[in-house]
Amino acid sequence: MKFCKKCVMPDTKPDLHFDEEGVCDACRSQEVKNQNINWQEREKEFFELIKKYKKHPVYDCVIGVSGGKDSTFQVVKMLELGLNPLCVCFEPSVPTKIGRKNLDNLNHLGVDLIHIKRDPKVYQKLAREAFIRTGDNEWQNHLGIFTSVPRIAVNFGVPLIIWGESPQIEYGGPASSKNKNILG
């Protein structure tokens, strides 16, 4: 097993690559992000984007939520900006009481929540197959999360999706995929 010389992330993380100095993509991505991104310009672009989609006929944006603090925070921020989000939750493998309470709190904030539940028998078969093929028994869950949000946005005609992170930017990955974060 190999470890990053800076953060000690092991090479067991899928799509993690090390450079010739033994530093992982996630650390190199962080360096680039801190040096090359003009955060004031990015903020301006963000507010222009929000302004463009604010007051869409029904929902202004779609947000994938898990019941965790990060996605809950995204919903609160979009509400503070005056947007009407449609929230989508692809049922976690192991739902927690706190996660369920956070999802219930979203309803109390006045947002609509679509909760996607899966067939337990099919899910179990997919988990087994995913583990055999990838070593990740959560692979089907990742696919469910990353496909259900855009599918709901398309189905409801909502042109804006708020994602909490870009795994390629935050955690590294193949260099060829780093600039493929904008559709259309």
| Domain parsing of the chain, residue ranges | 58-167
Residue by residue, pLDDT tens for the chain (184 residues) are 899 999 998 888 777 889 999 999 888 888 877 777 788 998 999 999 999 998 888 999 999 998 888 899 999 999 999 999 999 999 887 788 998 999 999 989 999 999 999 888 998 999 899 889 888 888 888 888 889 999 999 999 999 999 877 666 666 655 545 554 444 4
Q: Would you state the CATH architecture of domain 58-167?
A: 3-Layer(aba) Sandwich (3.40)
Local structure of 131: helix, strand or coil = helix
| Model pTM score | 0.75
Cα angle 59, 55, 117; round to 5 = 10
Residue 59, Ramachandran bin (φ over 0: left; ψ between -120 and 50: alpha; else beta): beta
